[in-house]
Structure 1
Amino acid sequence: MRTLVRYGYVPFMLLAVNGAGVAIAAAGASKLWLVGLVFLAIAVSFAAERVLPYRQEWNAARGDDRRDAVHAAVNESLTIASLAVVPVLTAITPFDGIWPGEWPFVVQVLAAILVADLGITLVHLASHKIPALWRLHAVHHSVKRAYGFNGLMKHPLHQTLETAVGFTPLILLGMPTSVAYAVALCAVVQLLLQHSNVDYRVGPLRLVLALNQAHRFHHLKWAGVGDVNFGLFTLLWDHLLGTYSYDPKRQFTSDDLGMAAKPNYPDAYLAQLAEPFRSSGACTSDDAKAPTEPAAPTSH
């Protein structure tokens, strides 16, 4: 079973779950099927973490399980709400007939993912450089364990910003709602995989896909050291931007995660929503300091 999870978990999520979602969206079937796939992906993620954990202790709740569930419910509800306005926005776009609707549906989805990934990567990068954006993004970096739900733990305003920047170019191009729903499902699956506490293997694909092996470097708690691997779906834009980093020998524990400058970041959901607007939510001079000894050798 452990071998099956190690090598089959990612293909199942990317090909079976995403593939089923693409087929459902292409057929115009009820969107409730997509909701069902989201719950299936979450269930598979949690099961795989129990069978083959990267860190056994990361499977134990630290009073954060209910909070993270609320984050996930709120943010996914916002995603569904935003998708509901896609047809309206597409209808008023000044550019008619640009979307390549004659392409195979799966190719349309893959193209949309690449475009959205660029926008999300740039917002993510900016959120580590611009203090006002970091205030919102810091919620996501306050985690002390890496497991599937971490990917859905974001301040709703930051989630909205990422979605807006990632999807706006696609809407201007006239992206059909069916493609948008498929991309949204793929994003949920990707976030689960990216933060998953599963010791899976993908071989050379780790250089291209933004999965947990590379993304753990992004959650290193020292500013500067953790300013790497910003992509959601792929690492292609990180390679081009020079922000890709990976060391196959690096091992991670909870001591490596979080924010060194803000070790006591609020834990409660409502407190996390309010923190970006408090004086304590600002960046400090300590945020820019790297550790005395490098926490993770990197290669670009």
Structure 2
Amino acid sequence: MTTLVRWGYVPFMLIGINSAAAYLGAVRASELWAVALIVTAVACSFAAERLLPYRRQWNSPLDDAGRDSAHAVVNEAFILASVAVIPVLAAIMPSRSLWPAGWPFVAQLLFAILIADFGITTVHLASHRIGWLWRFHAVHHSIRRFYGLNGLMKHPVHQAVEMAAGVLPLILLGLPVHVASALSVCVAVQLLLQHANVDYRVGPLRSVLALNEGHRFHHLKWAGVGDVNFGLFTLIWDHLYRTYAFDPQRRFSTDDLGMAAKPDYPEAYLRQLAEPFRASGACQFRQPEIPSRISDYGRR
């Protein structure tokens, strides 16, 4: 069973769940099917974390289960609600005829993923460089364990900025609602895979796909050191931005996570929502210095 999870979990999620989303989008099924697929993906993620955990202790709540669930419900509801307003926005866009509607549905979905990936990756990188964005993004980096729901542990303001960067260009092109619905499932699946406490393997694809092996480096708590691997779906843009990093020998523990500059960041949900608006929400951080070799991380 562990071998099946190690090598089969990612294909099941990326190909199985996402293909189901693509099929349902292609036949223009009710958007409620997207909710069902997301619930299925969450359940599979939790099951895989129990069967093959990267760190068994990360499966145990640290007084954070309720808070993380609140973040996940609010932010996933925001994503799904955004799908509902796309027809209204698309109807008033003068460039809606630019969408490649003649392409096969899968090609349209991959096109949407690539554009969304660029926008979200770029805003994510900027959130580690620009003070006011970091105030809101810091919520995501306050984690003390690395598991599936962390992907949606975001301040709603930062979630809105990231989604706008990823989806607005698509809406300007005339993104159809059925493509947007499938895209919302793909985003949810990717966030689960990226933060899953699962010791899965993808081989050489770990340098192309933005999955948990690489994303753990992004959550290293030291300023500069964690400013790598910003991609949501792929690491293509990280290679271009020269922010890609990986060390196959590196292992991670709870002591590596969080923010060294703010170890006492608020943990309660409502306090995390308020923190960016407080004076204490600022965080001193220096211009990141990306090491030329990943082995340099151990010397920082």
Quickly name the TM-score band, shorter chain normalised.
over 0.9
Using a 3 Å threshold, how does the CA distance of structure 1 residues 114 and 298 change in structure 2: closer, same or farther? Answer: farther
The amino acid across from 1:60 in the alignment is S
Residue aligning to 1:40: 40
| Corresponding position: 1:19 with 2:43 | no
For residues 296 and 104 of structure 2, what CA distance do their matches in structure 1 show? 39
- Alpha-carbon shift at residue 49 of structure 1 (Å): 0.4
Q: Which runs of 5+ in 1 are unaligned?
A: none
Change (3 A) 1:152 1:289: same
Q: Secondary structure at the match of 1:260?
A: coil
| Number of residue-to-residue matches in the alignment | 296
Change in CA separation of 1:265 and 1:77 when aligned onto 2, cut-off 3 Å? same
Q: Confirm or deny that 1:288 pairs with 2:286.
A: yes
User: Would you say the 8 A contact 1:222–1:290 is kept in 2?
Assistant: no
SS of aligned partner of 2:295: coil
Q: 1:164 to 1:289 in 2, by over 3 A?
A: closer
Change in Cα spacing, 1:235 to 1:289, as seen in structure 2 (3 Å) is: closer
Q: Which amino acid aligns with 1:49?
A: E
Normalised to the residue count of structure 2, the TM-score between the two structures is: 0.96
1:78-157, aligned counterparts within 5 Å? 78-157=78-157
Quick one: which amino acid aligns to residue 143 of structure 1? Answer: I
- What's the CA shift string for 1:132-185, capped at 9, x where partnerless? 000000000000110000001100110011001100110111110111111111
What's the counterpart of residue 295 of structure 2?
297
Is contact 1:34–1:185 with CA below 8 Å preserved after alignment?
Answer: yes
Give the Å deviation of 1:117: 0.3
Runs of 4+ in 1 over 4 A off after TM superposition: none
Distance 1:281 1:23, change over 3 A: same
d(CA) in 2 for partners of 1:107 and 1:178?
13
What's the Cα RMSD here?
1.8
Q: Residue 137 of structure 2 aligns to which amino acid in structure 1?
A: H
Asked if 1:193 corresponds to 2:193, the answer is: yes
Residues 141-290 of structure 1 mapped to structure 2, 5 A cutoff? 141-284=141-284, 287-288=285-286
Query: Structure 1 length as normaliser, TM-score?
Result: 0.96
- Supply the AA of the counterpart residue of 2:223: A
Distance 1:298 1:173 in 2: 43
Give the secondary-structure state (helix, strand or coil) at the position aligned to 1:154: coil
Task: Report Cα offsets for 1:43-95 as digits up to 9, x if no partner.
Answer: 00000000100001100100001110000000011111211111111111121
Amino acid at match of 2:135: R
1:44/1:203 Cα in 2 relative to 1: closer, same or farther (>3 Å)? same
**Deviations 1:5-51, CA, capped at 9 Å, x for gaps:** 00000000001111101111111112222111111100000000001
Using the TM superposition, give the Cα deviation of residue 96 of structure 1 relative to its aligned residue in structure 2, in angstroms. Answer: 3.9
The 1:296–1:207 alpha-carbon spacing in structure 2 relative to 1, beyond 3 Å, is closer
Cα distance in 1 for residues equivalent to 2:293 and 2:136? 25
Q: CA separation of 1:83/1:96 partners in 2, compared to 1, >3 Å: closer, same or farther?
A: closer
CA contact (8 A) 1:250 1:296 kept: no
For 2:26 and 2:296, locate their aligned partners in 1 and report how far apart those are by CA, in whole Å: 41
Residues 247 and 298 in structure 1, CA contact (< 8 A), matched pair in contact too: no
Contact 1:26–1:178 (8 Å) recurs in 2: yes
Residue matched to 1:29: 29
Single out whichever of 43-52 and 81-90 deviates more from structure 2: 81-90
Deviation, 1:126, is 0.5
Match of 2:10 in 1: 10
User: Whole-Å Cα distance in 2 between the matches of residues 236 and 79 of structure 1?
Assistant: 24
Mapped to 1, the partners of 2:296 and 2:3 lie a distance apart of: 28
Task: Name the amino acid aligned to 1:214.
Answer: G
| Cα distance in 1 between the residues matched to 2:81 and 2:263 | 34
The answer (yes or no) to whether the contact 1:222–1:289 under 8 Å persists in 2 is no
Shift of 1:297: 2.2
Identity of aligned residues (%): 64
